[in-house]
Amino acid sequence: MPTLADMDRQKEFVLRTLEERDIRFVRLWFTDVLGYLKSVAIAPAELEGAFEEGIGFDGSAIEGFARVSEADMIARPDPSTFQVLPWTSSGGGHHSARMFCDITMPDGSPSWADSRHVLRRQLSKAGDLGFSCYVHPEIEFFLLKPGENDGTPPVPADNGGYFDQAVHDAAPNFRRHAIEALEQMGISVEFSHHEGAPGQQEIDLRYADALSMADNVMTFRYVVKEVALGEGVRATFMPKPFAEHPGSAMHTHMSLFEGEVNAFHSPEDPLQLSKVAKSFIAGILEHANEISAVTNQWVNSYKRLIHGGEAPTAASWGAANRSALVRVPMYTPRKASSRRVEVRSPDSACNPYLTFAVLLAAGLRGIEKDYVLGPEAEDNVWNLTPEERNAMGYKELPSSLGMALTEMENSELVAEALGEHVFDYFLRNKHAEWENYRSHVTPYELKSYLSL
């Protein structure tokens, strides 16, 4: 945690940068419970007061934040997250910057509905056990040709496939421009390439602590959409926009460190996995169904998590096995610092703060309770029948949002990880979404049944 002296130095740096670079707008960002980015812009002259007192707003107007009777909330900018936005004015100067905010009640206590606070509480629990958590996401999304958001089927911006040097007619330099914009904001990119479906892209962010990475994911989605608009295309993080193509995942690599030492590494183990790592994996497998509604929060998320697709449908683990829920990457088997686990269920439309929080909670529960990790999956789990999976001890993951919500509402672990307010609001909102979807008559049904 930064000291008061560190915070003061960061505030001074922010104020000095605004003046030196003639920044005209400061955008204060925070994230609602469903993972939507919220923003309020203030003039630089108001920022010193915002550092001292915060910016008041009506929490009852934000999804999941407060009841009307407790509506007054304060957004407090975190100076350590200050970055100048990469967009320039007609004269070539940068005209705006952003900072993420922590949300508090008027008395200064943290708002239990603040997504950053939910994750920070879980990281504090990890800290109490002697661990710090690092995350590296592989973020997939689609580039689409311009169109209306009226239910018309989208059209991909290209016809490329996996690792193709695909040429986008409308946006030939999209990935380069997006990466340049991200790196201008201090977000390091490790890899980028065309994914398996037409128009599908993947950009992988370099490892960072879990809170910084959640901030980076929110910034990533904003930057990618802005760059796409500037190049005449649309970017979507919808998990499954095309029935005939794979969906967009956010495969999440995780590791725990004790100081400078990777707690997941053991040189004696054949896979170099420590007992801590094995219990962490066992925790995620044991609680996979309970956390599914958070890692995959939309009705559409479960169109990606289907048998025969390229996404996990059973709680299994394996070394380099991409059909498993948890994979142990083996790219650098002798490099202690890189020993990590990859959770393959989350999609790109999740709330990253809540997703990292429940994944960490499940893994830590495995460590605390000394869960025993079962045998690894050496088969292609996608090709096994449900009966074969059951015989091998692989628990089926929820196949719909409705099933995931049933698992979540009975979960003490998720309730504790999210806090009562977020847990209750999330369930109410998602039950409403599921009921709206269940009552909707789709074109598939009309085509299949209208002549009966």
Q: Which residues are annotated as a binding site?
A: 138, 140, 190, 195, 202, 251, 253-255, 304, 310, 322, 342, 344
Binding-site members for L-glutamate are: 304, 310, 322, 344
Binding-site members for ATP are: 190, 253-255, 322
Binding-site members for Mg(2+) are: 138, 140, 195, 202, 251, 342
Closest CA to 229 of 143, 158, 155, 348: 143
Q: Which residues pair with 234 in a beta bridge?
A: 144
* Whole-number Å distance between alpha carbons of 171 and 150: 23
Cα-based distances in Å from 185 to 42, 80, 83, 85, 211: 19, 13, 6, 7, 16
Q: What is the 3-state secondary structure (H, E, C) of the chain?
A: CCCHHHHHHHHHHHHHHHHHCCCCEEEEEEECCCCCEEEEEECHHHHHHHHHHCEEEEHHHCCCCCCHHHCEEEEEECHHHCEECCCECCCCCECEEEEEEEEECCCCCECCCCHHHHHHHHHHHHHHCCCEEEEEEEEEEEEECCCCCCCCCCCECCCCCCCCCCCCCCCCCHHHHHHHHHHHCCCCEEEEEECCCCCEEEEEECCEEHHHHHHHHHHHHHHHHHHHHHCCCEEECCCCCCCCCCCCEEEEEEEEEECCEECCECCCCCCCECHHHHHHHHHHHHCHHHHHHHHCCCCCHHHHCCCCCCCCCEECEEECCCCCCEEECCCCCCCHHHCCEEECCCECCCCHHHHHHHHHHHHHHHHHCCCCCCCCCCCCHHHCCHHHHHHCCCEECCCCHHHHHHHHHCCHHHHHHHCHHHHHHHHHHHHHHHHHHHCCCCHHHHHHHCCC
